[in-house]
A and B are shown apart, each in its own frame.
Chain A
Amino acid sequence: MKIDRRSFIALGVGVIAGTTLTPVPWKLTDDISIWTQNWPWTPVPKDGRNSYKTSVCTLCPGGCGIQVRKVIDRAVKIEGLPEHPANQGRLCPLGFSGLQFLYGPSRVKSPMKRVGERGEGKWQKISWDEAIEAITGELKKLRNQGKPHRVAWMAEDDRGTVPQLIGRFLTAYGSPNFIRASGDASELAVYLMQGQQGTVGYDIENADHILSFGAGLLQGWGSPVRMLNIYGKMHERKTLVQIEPRLSETAAKANQWIPIKPGTEGALALGMAHLIIRESLYKKSFVNQRVFGFEDWTDANGIAHTGFKTRVLKDYTLEIVSRITGVDSKTIAQLARGFARAKKPVAVGSCGNGRLPGGLGESMAVHALNALVGNINQTGGVSVMPEPDYAKWPEIKIDETASNSLQQPRIDGAGTSQYPQARYLPHRLPGVINNAKGEPPVQALFVTGANPIYTLPDTNATKAAFERIPLLVSFSPYMDETASFSDYILPNHTFLERYEDVPSPAGTTLPVIGLAQPVVRPLYETRHVADVVIQMAKSMGSFVGEAFPWKNYQSFLEEALKDHWDKLSKNGYARIPSIEDATQPGKFNTPSGKFEFHPSALDSTPNGDKAVLPSFSETPIEGKPDQFPLLLIPYDSMRITNGPVGNPPFMTKTIDANVLKDQTCFVELNSKTARKMGFSEGDRVVITTPKGKAEVRLHLFEGIEPGVIAMPSGLGHVAYSKYLAGKGVNFNNLIGPMEDPMSGLNTAWGIRANITRA
């Protein structure tokens, strides 16, 4: 009997054999697999009491009602609010990703003061009292020097009570420079032709023939969820005709896509008007009685004027228009007949998702089509949505300093003798500052909601201009491009932490407003921008302080909305009678009391009627053709937000690999052009424009006109967080603004470009 090595091997084998016959290996395998799912760094939402908070999403002007699911005190999911008129319970990718703005790492957590160089990222945390004192100190100094008109405030929107409070502050202080961050040609066109100030609403729900001049109707235009809802019901006999140089998502889903030379949409509208008038297809009951400037006319001074009819019949024949646009005459005629013969046609004229530039002439030409079919303020037509009247503003007293400086011309040139009609010309600001000799015309710039260093064309020029501004204050809740370049950041609450009235959803004719309500308590030491404005005013004292008799913004808002408060807080929206009234048929506030093809507000003396009537003139774009043989245009996508807020990581995840791969974005190029230039799919190239250059990759695409490059807009952020920044190229780095000679609006729909192998 000897115990040897073999015995122990036998023991081991016995143990192994026995163990396999016990639950040990199987149970451990199962437990370990569950253990791996529960590592402490795996985020698991807390379990607890669920609740829903009603609010309105303000990440875009879409005005969608939302309900936010909360577990105990943490918001865990943003959902569409059922039965909200804008979105009917549905929501877009941006809205769904909204929590990434609230809980993401790009938040500014307390007031900050710059200590390093501009944009260097060195900050010192300061208290709210210190911040407000420092800024009002600067403002007082400027006022004592008689320079309140050297202060400007840029905001994303001019609708709602927060921008109005800011405007009131500026008025009391003495600055005429409230600047909305985007100009809007269709808004101005409709104002000139109908005399009504407001945003343009299209009743697409009830239209049966939608003629879109490059509007990215399914790519984030207007109130994006509403548009997708309408598309979901397209079987309800609607025809969508999309006119644009690129086979966009909208074009691909349209009944008909008309590829057109970039920038010539206005000419096509006039060509269609030509045929509608020639074949007498226009709506006589409207055109014969309710319009001015259609037929030739003689004014009170006996001067003969050319009407729209004569002008269009003479100058925009199908042959001429076909030559300009590249669309053949037959197609133009077919488009015009289809439009005019439809029961409820509507023409939509803002480019892209509404943020892309466009000239006044083009917008007027498109709106003229709406007048020809008589769908102004009609079901299925176009209406102007005015600012509601619920806010009661006590009369404002101003002192002499303010009164004097309010007489000064605006820094952006809007409303001056050069551009009397324009309200906001933000793209002119960098040029004005950079071209000024000596002291820069802007001594202090405040930025709320907007992110001009990212959204204004020509980023380099914008940065150079902002570098010259002695005091740059951002109210952004996030460390965006503008905030990271500023001197002070006074962080606002995010959209889920604050009260705000929300104007009627963009692009709709819904006579409603919404109320954004705090869904969670503010996470950090942030403050509502309107409260800061009120505190700044009080700290300024005298007339400025007296203009703000309210304790804080919430008490002001509750008072202003007291008739609607219950409905607003419960349903997220309320109908506003004053908006409803303004969209009734027959309301035109023009001098003639009619719809004006020849806007009386425009002076035809210097350049004749031609310059005043809806017309097309080729927009010059930057760059010499021999040096830059290609055209570069931007395009919008439902999956990339291109406004002031950056694309949240959830959305970036949805971008196709032929739009953005790793950190590089793709531009689209027709394969014919690519072959001619010797490029193939996926090639790395450097794209050069007169404004800058960038490395991108090529995606060959038959849906883009030969000779044109299309680039996604909304990429290329450099601020926020490492999760958001550094992906692709900001289109605005490569393009500069182009002024419309009539309105001053930015008309740069593209820029000349060249590509070379990287």
Chain B
Amino acid sequence: MNTNDQQHPVSNAASPEPGDAPEKRKNGSGWIILLFFIIGLVASLLSGWLVFPNLLYSEKEQPIDFDHNLHMGVVYEGCQSCHYFREDGSFSGIPDLYACSQCHQFVQGPDPEEEKFVNEYVQNNKEVPWLVYSRQPDCVFFSHAAHVKGAGMSCENCHGDIGTSDHSRTYQENRITGYSRDIWGYNIARLGEPKHGRRMKMNDCADCHEREMGHKGYCFQCHQ
């Protein structure tokens, strides 16, 4: 497809059309056509690779700048202290207001972000609208238990070094889908592994499963 598209105009420009006088065609107009073609090609390549990715995502800050590093220093069970498995094996995900207010019923430290959290959310009994970097569509079933407990994977394996971060990083939201840029990956060509853990498109699941288990898995395992 691509090669055809490229060659077609080139050959058209270079070869004389039947019925035209050959002298006229040699007057350099072929070069102009080629030039215009190249301008179009380069401009679209540049905008497609460089401008488009920046246009596609909007940048949002988390409602509260969360310091994972600080929290890791005061809890006893690492990530599990807040992101735990419930009794029924389901994963709690991001703690809700109730969980946070177990400690932050009142302001405890000098951090203005904590003060903001207590004043705006705890006191008003309002859930924090966290922007979830790894949020998947509702049609995707993902079991943390199967990966963490079953396969013994660590949190960092997929979520990267978020546990040691001092600040919440900027959330980049896809303007069309509303999902985080983390899912597709920061590199628009999906090359290399991103800084913040793994990419999380369906093919990423399948690739890892094929690598680790020898099989990509079946549709209904995730699309239940």
Contacts and interface: CB of A to CB of B under 8 A. Distances in A.
Interface of A: 1-4, 6-24, 27-28, 30-32, 34-35, 37-38, 44-45, 47-50, 52
B174 interface: yes
B56 interface: yes
15 contacts: A1-B28, A7-B33, A10-B33, A10-B34, A10-B40, A13-B40, A16-B5, A17-B41, A19-B44, A20-B5, A22-B44, A22-B52, A23-B49, A34-B177, A38-B178
Contacts of A34: 137, 176-177, 179
Given A27-B188, A31-B176, A31-B177, A48 B32 contact: no
Interface string B186-206: 001100000000000000000
A49 B37 contact: no
B32 A11 contact: no
Contact of A6 (B8, B33, B174, B176): B33
B18 to A, nearest CB: 16
A23 B40 contact: no
A24 B48 contact: yes
B36 interface: yes
A17 B37 CA distance: 9
Contact of B41 (A18, A32, A48, A49): A18
B188 A6 contact: no
Contact of A12 (B40, B86, B88): B40
Contacts of A28: 176
Contact of B40 (A2, A14, A49): A14
Contacts of B36: 3, 7-8, 10-11, 14
Contacts of B178: 35, 38
B45 interface: yes
A10 B45 CA distance: 15
Interface string B41-62: 1111101110011001000000
Nearest to B3: A17
A676 B48 CA distance: 74
A23 B188 contact: yes
A38 B32 contact: no
B30 to A, nearest CB: 9
A37 B45 contact: no
A30 B29 CA distance: 40
Nearest to A51: B86
Contact of B176 (A18, A35, A45, A48): A35
A24 B41 contact: no
B138 interface: yes
A71 to B, nearest CB: 11
B39 interface: yes
B137 A13 contact: no
B48 A14 contact: no
Contact of A14 (B44, B93, B137): B44
A37 B9 CA distance: 39
B139 interface: yes
Q: Among B39, B44, B49, B93, which residue has the most Cβ atoms of chain A within 10 A?
A: B44
A31 B44 CA distance: 20
A14 B42 CA distance: 8
Given A4-B29, A44-B138, A22 B49 contact: yes
Contacts of A20: 1-2, 5
B184 A10 contact: no
Contacts of B86: 50
A30 B176 CA distance: 10
Contacts of A4: 29
A2 B52 contact: no
B125 to A, nearest CB: 13
Nearest to A34: B177
B179 to A, nearest CB: 7
Given A23-B52, A37-B137, A15 B174 contact: no
Interface string B1-41: 11001101100010000000000000011001110111111
B44 A15 contact: yes
Contacts of B176: 28, 31-32, 34-35
Given A8-B36, A23-B188, A38-B137, A17 B177 contact: no
Interface string B202-213: 000000000000
Contact of A17 (B5, B92, B137): B5
A15 B41 contact: yes
B96 interface: yes
Contacts of A12: 40
A220 to B, nearest CB: 28
A649 to B, nearest CB: 21
Nearest to A47: B93
B39 A14 contact: yes
A48 B128 CA distance: 11
B172 to A, nearest CB: 13
A10 B44 contact: no
B48 A48 contact: no
B144 to A, nearest CB: 13
B32 A19 contact: no
Contacts of B44: 14-19, 22
Given A18-B42, A48-B96, A38 B48 contact: no
Contact of A2 (B2, B32, B49): B32
B40 A17 contact: yes
Contacts of B139: 37
Contacts of A18: 40-45, 48
B13 A45 contact: no
B16 to A, nearest CB: 13
A569 to B, nearest CB: 18
Contacts of A8: 36
Nearest to A43: B138
A14 B37 contact: yes
A582 B25 CA distance: 110
Contacts of A45: 138
B86 to A, nearest CB: 7
Contacts of A1: 28-29, 32
Interface string B162-188: 000000000000101111000010001
A45 to B, nearest CB: 7
Contacts of B41: 14-15, 17-18
B138 A21 contact: no
B106 interface: no
Of B2, B34, B40, the most chain A CB neighbours within 10 A belong to B40
B105 interface: no
B50 to A, nearest CB: 9
Q: Which of A16, A19, A48 has the most CB of B within 10 A?
A: A19
Contacts of B98: 49
Contacts of A27: 52, 56, 184, 188
B143 interface: no
B48 A21 contact: yes
A50 B49 CA distance: 42
Contacts of B53: 23
A651 to B, nearest CB: 21
Contacts of B123: none
A24 B50 CA distance: 11
A353 B181 CA distance: 56
A10 B28 contact: no
Contacts of A24: 48, 52
Contacts of A19: 44, 48
